[in-house]
Amino acid sequence: MQISRHWVVCAVAIAFLIGPRAPALAADAVSVSKPWVRATVAGQSVAGAYMDITAKANAALVGVASPVAAKAELHTMTMDGGVMKMRPLAKLDLPAGKTVNLKPGGFHVMLIDIRRELKAGERVPLTLTVQDSHGVRSTLKVDAEVRAAAGGGQMH
Ligand SMILES: [Cu+2]
């Protein structure tokens, strides 16, 4: 009797050790490189934020927040009658294994109602909300470097 009970305990322990792990949160499977935010001048209320994002499994970027801005939106740039226009995106798909580049003239994060001037060289925290293919959301924090705009243009 003692022995069989011992084996039951062991079997449970082994099942626990080798059993399926809780699925990894999407944020653990997403890596962000080279995050940066365009420096602003006094009075400027919006700035673009850019980065390269790679997901190990299909996921989507569904939101961004930063303490330096009242809100942040995902934007895409499209050609409309020969004019580049920004359009908000509800989400940005992150296909497995493919690096998605957020860059000037393309997908970007728009920081809106910036609370203060963003000076080149400082770092701005960004919180990215990522959703996995099952709809589970998780967040990922990155520190973006503020950089002066190349050529001083206002394009984002
Ligand atoms: Cu924009």
CA–CA separation, 39 and 144 (whole Å):
11
Q: What is the CATH number of domain 24-150?
A: 2.60.40.1890
Instruction: Supply the pLDDT for residue 13.
Output: 56
Ligand 1 centroid to residue 86 C-alpha, Å: 5
CA–CA separation, 111 and 42 (whole Å):
15
Q: Where are the domains of the chain?
A: 24-150
Report mean pLDDT in 10-residue bins for the chain, 156 residues.
57 54 68 97 94 96 97 93 92 97 95 95 97 94 90 52
Which three-class secondary structure state does DSSP give residue 25? coil
Instruction: Supply the pLDDT for residue 102.
Output: 97
Ligand 1 centroid to residue 30 C-alpha, Å: 23
Instruction: Supply the pLDDT for residue 144.
Output: 98
How do 137-147 and 30-38 pair as beta strands?
Answer: parallel
pTM: 0.79
Instruction: Supply the pLDDT for residue 152.
Output: 47
